A and B are shown apart, each in its own frame.
Chain A
């Protein structure tokens, strides 16, 4: 099967499941589909750095959490009518999603730029360790920041607003997240097919060739990391809005690990690998999680099988299915 048909099928499937659940009066399933879309978005961000750029970041929870806290800080001030700052003008925070998204993208990109500048001096296992260290740093920073809930996190009582939509209606909030996922995947496809994507992909396989071509691979990687952090940050803001809650666990290294797992399950570097991986992850979490609290053992076995079968993941597996005609 051609990968574009697999991609179309995966995305249409996700949309149809949500619509069907909405029509059948199953709002919880709509919420699960929303979670799939948001996790896929977070992993799509990581996929640019990891899948194409070859940067195994075990610290992407930093950007997810930062996006979450961008939402939490802005919305908690707004809901308490407690200005974030009063000079040079009074800023009360905001409950407006578009504004929150821009803030999450900006802080995600900024954090990725700083962390990337430092981490990209290393490579291989040192890069993994230094990104992990940043993740732990942010985790403990969030815990020790009492103004924003510390260990208990922050509750946002009413979901933030989007002009013209009722965001508390699960299907409408799904629509927002799904639309953002589609837009970001479209952007990712364009980036991957661009000269920049060509060079980034080559820098993973053959950095000396990239340098001999007059291109500095570390600059490519830094830009990829910044875009990656911005997208994962945006996903963090949406995830916080889904739960109407942020806490330091968004920064935990388990979250970073899960994002990597999603990508490996779905297919490293494949455009819709994150979608396939997130869908499988959420389904397993629901079904197996109901059977046993040790459901992650099964996830581990599945991961093992996928890794042994090669780098293609689910999307790669489907692509090997011969098409008729």
Chain B
């Protein structure tokens, strides 16, 4: 079997006496959407922070395409192909959608020129426009992000991640606050995206999770208590006890 794009091996982290990550093993395989679910306070956000490099694990390793990135900082992991979207908007709201995505293109190249016009550079604008087109926002390229709808800035976040030609994606609640139609639209987009880069998806909307995810991992009290296909997880007695409740 192909090597996982992203793997966690024994990732452990404590805040004082509180173990927020307890020997977490996790694989994100090519082509999949892997949902990470669990009750509030289970440690999902802190696990994502460790994957992306914002928080150091006390023990364990994080591998991106087999390379140990545990000691790398956030920008270096991003340049290596780890894309992410945030739960609350991380975008520069005064800048246009195109500018936000261009930033990702410029960052991927790792060289920020001081002496050329950003908007005049086809090598920045062309990939950025393409990424915006992929999320269906080519018409809003020149709209300041602050003036976009909630659903649209979610898409800009995804466009930014795509513009980095990611090898793996981590998304923190991309469907939150979207409404039924928005969830359907964005789910369709995520299905197209996963072909290019697998997605580790933290999500609270269980209907969407079980509709989207190829595999699901359940995190409770910092530990992964089960991993498997959606249907198996739904029927899993331990998971029902700890989190989902009995299948109705």
Q: Given that A213-B164, A214-B79, A216-B75 are contacting pairs, would A202 and B86 also be in contact in the complex, using a CB cutoff of 8 Å? A: no
Task: List residues 66-85 of chain B with CB under 8 A from any CB of chain A.
Answer: 73-76, 78-79, 83-84
Q: How far is the CA of A197 from the CA of B95 in the complex (A)?
A: 12
Contact B95 A201 (CB under 8 A): yes
Tally of contact residues, A, Cβ under 8 A: 24
Report A173-214 CB contacts with B as 1/0, cut-off 8 Å.
000000000000000001101111111011001101111111
Contact B114 A213 (CB under 8 A): no
| CB of A11 closer than 8 Å to a CB of B | no
Contact A212 B113 (CB under 8 A): no
Report B138-165 CB contacts with A as 1/0, cut-off 8 Å.
0000000000000000000000110010
Contacts of A190 in B (CB 8 A): 114-115, 117
Contacts of A206 in B (CB 8 A): 90-93
Q: Given that A194-B113, A195-B113 are contacting pairs, would A214 and B90 also be in contact in the complex, using a CB cutoff of 8 Å? A: no
| CB of B246 closer than 8 Å to a CB of A | no
| CB of B108 closer than 8 Å to a CB of A | yes
* Residue in contact with A209 in the complex, picked from B103, B116, B117, B118, CB distance below 8 Å: B103
Contacts of B108 in A (CB 8 A): 213-214
Shortest B11–chain A CB gap in Å is: 20
Q: Given that A202-B92, A205-B93 are contacting pairs, would A213 and B103 also be in contact in the complex, using a CB cutoff of 8 Å? A: yes
- Smallest CB gap from A203: residue in B: B92
Contacts of A223 in B (CB 8 A): 114
Q: How far is the CA of A212 from the CA of B75 in the complex (A)?
A: 6
Contact B118 A194 (CB under 8 A): yes
Report which residue of B52, B78, B83, B92 has the largest number of chain A beta carbons within 10 angstroms of its beta carbon.
B92
| CB of B124 closer than 8 Å to a CB of A | yes
Q: Given that A208-B90, A209-B90, A209-B103 are contacting pairs, would A195 and B118 also be in contact in the complex, using a CB cutoff of 8 Å? A: yes
| CB of A118 closer than 8 Å to a CB of B | no
- Smallest CB gap from A215: residue in B: B107
Tally of contact residues, B, Cβ under 8 A: 38
Contacts of B74 in A (CB 8 A): 211-212
Contacts of A211 in B (CB 8 A): 74-75, 78
Shortest B147–chain A CB gap in Å is: 14
Contacts of A202 in B (CB 8 A): 92, 95, 99-100, 103
Shortest A269–chain B CB gap in Å is: 10
| CB of B110 closer than 8 Å to a CB of A | yes
| CB of B94 closer than 8 Å to a CB of A | yes
Contacts of A220 in B (CB 8 A): 112
- Smallest CB gap from A204: residue in B: B92
- Smallest CB gap from B93: residue in A: A205
Contact B116 A205 (CB under 8 A): no
Contact B114 A196 (CB under 8 A): yes
Q: Given that A194-B115, A196-B114 are contacting pairs, would A212 and B95 also be in contact in the complex, using a CB cutoff of 8 Å? A: no
Shortest A189–chain B CB gap in Å is: 10
Contacts of B93 in A (CB 8 A): 205-206
| CB of B104 closer than 8 Å to a CB of A | yes
Contacts of A196 in B (CB 8 A): 112-114
Contacts of B94 in A (CB 8 A): 201, 205
Contacts of B95 in A (CB 8 A): 198, 201-202, 205
Q: How far is the CA of A190 from the CA of B90 in the complex (A)?
A: 26
Shortest A280–chain B CB gap in Å is: 25
Contact A214 B107 (CB under 8 A): yes
Task: List residues 205-255 of chain A with CB under 8 A from any CB of chain B.
Answer: 205-206, 208-216, 220, 223
| CB of B62 closer than 8 Å to a CB of A | no
Contact B106 A209 (CB under 8 A): no
Contacts of A209 in B (CB 8 A): 86, 90-92, 100, 103, 160
Contact A193 B78 (CB under 8 A): no
Contact A214 B118 (CB under 8 A): no
Contact A212 B78 (CB under 8 A): yes
Contacts of B76 in A (CB 8 A): 214
Q: How far is the CA of A210 from the CA of B119 in the complex (A)?
A: 18
Contact A215 B75 (CB under 8 A): yes
Shortest B83–chain A CB gap in Å is: 8
- Smallest CB gap from A193: residue in B: B117
Contact B116 A195 (CB under 8 A): yes
Contact B73 A197 (CB under 8 A): no
Q: How far is the CA of A202 from the CA of B104 in the complex (A)?
A: 11
| CB of B102 closer than 8 Å to a CB of A | yes
Contact A199 B106 (CB under 8 A): yes
Contact A201 B92 (CB under 8 A): yes
Contact B107 A198 (CB under 8 A): no
Beyond A201-B94, A201-B95, A213-B104, 9 extra complex contacts between A and B, CB < 8 Å = A193-B118, A195-B112, A198-B103, A202-B103, A205-B92, A206-B93, A208-B86, A211-B75, A214-B78
Complex A-B: 5 CB contacts under 8 Å: A191-B114, A195-B113, A196-B113, A214-B104, A215-B112
A interface residue numbers (CB < 8 A to B)? 190-191, 193-199, 201-202, 205-206, 208-216, 220, 223
B interface residue numbers (CB < 8 A to A)? 52, 73-76, 78-79, 83-84, 86, 90-95, 99-100, 102-104, 106-108, 110, 112-119, 121, 124, 160-161, 164
Nearest first, the 10 closest Cβ-Cβ pairs linking A and B are A213-B107, A214-B107, A214-B79, A214-B78, A205-B92, A202-B92, A209-B90, A211-B74, A196-B114, A195-B106
